[in-house]
Structure 1
Amino acid sequence: MNISTEAKVGSISLIACVLLVYIIIHLSGFSFGDKGYPVQAVFRQVNGIKEGNIVRYAGVDVGRIKEVRVLPQEGVQVTMLMDPGVKIPEGSKFLIGADGLMGEKYINIIPAEHSSSYLLPNAKVKGEEIQGLDELIASSDRVLAEVHDLVKSLNEIVGDEKVKAAMKNTILNAQEITDNMNIMMGNLARMTQENGDIDTTVKNLSAMSKSLREAAARAEIMMQAVDNNGQTAKDLRETLINIKNTSSRVEKMAAALEGVVTDPTTAQDIKETLKNARMASERANKMLTKVSSIETKVGFETLYNHDTGKYSSNADLKINTSPTDFAVIGVSHIGDGSKGNFQVGKGNEEFAGRAGVIDNKVGVGVDTKIGKQMSLSLDVYDPQDVRVKLRSLYQVAPDTFIVGQSDGINKEDEQTYFGVRRNF
């Protein structure tokens, strides 16, 4: 069959028109009937959202905005047309985003985690409120206004002459307190170094406190007899040595006469003399051993209570009469309701127990060492109103410690102190 030229031209023109219509429809996005399913999101404000804007799910385009409608009671309802096959988990967040500062607005969907169900067609969700640029600027203005008021108030306070004078006096007082503490520590160290007299140190501390109880006073008197610049202890050692030597001589003389004397009465007297000389020699040996093993150590510490802003000074004297026996004499809170301490104890550096007077009250205590630098002490005292005190010491240098102390940890009025201790 022959096709005329006119028919061929008409067919080609018709095909070209069809192709042109298809290209126009494809490029414009026009469709015959909506594809996909709708989802409604309600926002308090939409900030420039328009029909035709993009909907993104985790940054991927999944649909377009079909309608923006105002709801008088709820806000603004945005109807989104999701592409077929796109599943939005229930609980996902719907926010308004923008491509850059001045770019086109779009709906951004942040998927919910661990959700096993998905939004159905025509589901209605609540959009997340975000702070727009206008609100951000308004908030910044409010913050700046508040900062301005704060700075103005600070200027009024700091600029006041009375406040300036008070701050200056506070700084000067703090400096004066520090200088006095340095002087006091220096005097104690110099006194101990020059005199070597532990008993004099205790007497001076006792004179400052004037509140040691009878037990502490007796212990101090005992120490005065033990060490007087080292002379009393030296004299006592010499006396004991003389007693020992004399007893030995008397025992030898009595032994020599025992075989010669025939009178029964005289012989009995010689036996008594031997017995007494032996007992005197044994007692002298025991006393000489005790005196030789006596060691003393003075400790002084300055503590600070952050809650009350007050300083507290404590001093103590530890007397070791043997490797396992010791006594502690001390004064706590010197000059501010001074309290006396006197305990006797038994033990070594690893673990020791004490009993006696603690802060003017009857009590007991234990001391233990943790490692090479750390030690802990626990005191329980005052049977009428039991109080518990916990102390920790950390050695930072020879004879120098950092002190932490909590007094009355079982009471509401617990007092916590931190400071420095020095042993001499």
Structure 2
Amino acid sequence: MKISNETKVGILATVAIAVLIIGYSFLKGNDVFSSENTYYATYDRVDGLSVSKPVMVNGYQIGRVSKMQLLPDGNILTEFKIKHDYAIPANTVARIASTDLLGGKAIVFELGDSQLYANDGDTLQANIQRNILEQVEPVQKKAEAVVAVLDSVLSSINNTVNADFQRNFNRSIASIANTLNTLEHTSAQVDAIVGTQRTKLANILSNVESISANFKNNNEKINNILGNLNTVTDQVAKANFQQTISNANAAVADFQNIIDNINNGKGSVGLLLNDDKLYDNLNNASKNLDNLMIDLKQNPHRYVHFSIFGRKRD
């Protein structure tokens, strides 16, 4: 049977149209030759996400984004086509994640632990992971602020460090170097002295060690001597103290005896203090003596006679 050219052209056109439709559907994210489940998720933004982007679990592709629609409230409804072979738990989270440094996006399913599975047409929980540039941006701003502060500090230091300061700083460094050299020279001299006197130092240390060993060996004797010395000192101190107390008691007793004699009118002091007659006599004698001195001053001629030509005869 001979096929006409018209029939061949019709068949070829039909095949081309079918291939075109299948390819167009595939590009839109629809797999014509396999059964797939459809799931949905709603995002407030989908930067870098587009139709036909992969849907992955732990880096393994299980489906793709098939459709994206802008809702009246500004959110984006995203449709996923997942192979029928994979069961998706109901509490799975569909997260938009970055796949490269250029901002490419993909859907990553974080499988939940629910015993129930999502049905065809269910809406999954949505989440968005910031890309690397968005995560680095706050750090970049902080780094820029730090760089600005460092630049200001360096400018202040540059203004402060003038020529005079540099000269003074260099002079200080040179002085420190000279001091270190002097210390090094002194250390060398000390080392030389120690080296020359090493034998004497060894003998001194040996003598000290010998003395320490003698003290250690005679520790018991030294303790006995110190104990005896302490006992003798205590006894001397006690004897002197007792003798002093005895002498003080005797002196107090003698003084008390004298006071008693005075109070009893014994002795001159006792008579003077206790005998009224003796007091009156002494008082009268004092008055007479006072009158005599007054009369002597007023009438000296009664008691002393001076004559140039001799004594006057009465």
TM-score by length of 2: 0.44
Bigger Rg, structure 1 or 2: 2
The structure where helix makes up a greater share of residues is 2
The structure where strand makes up a greater share of residues is 1
TM-score by length of 1: 0.35
Higher RCO (Cα < 8 Å, 6 or more apart)? 2
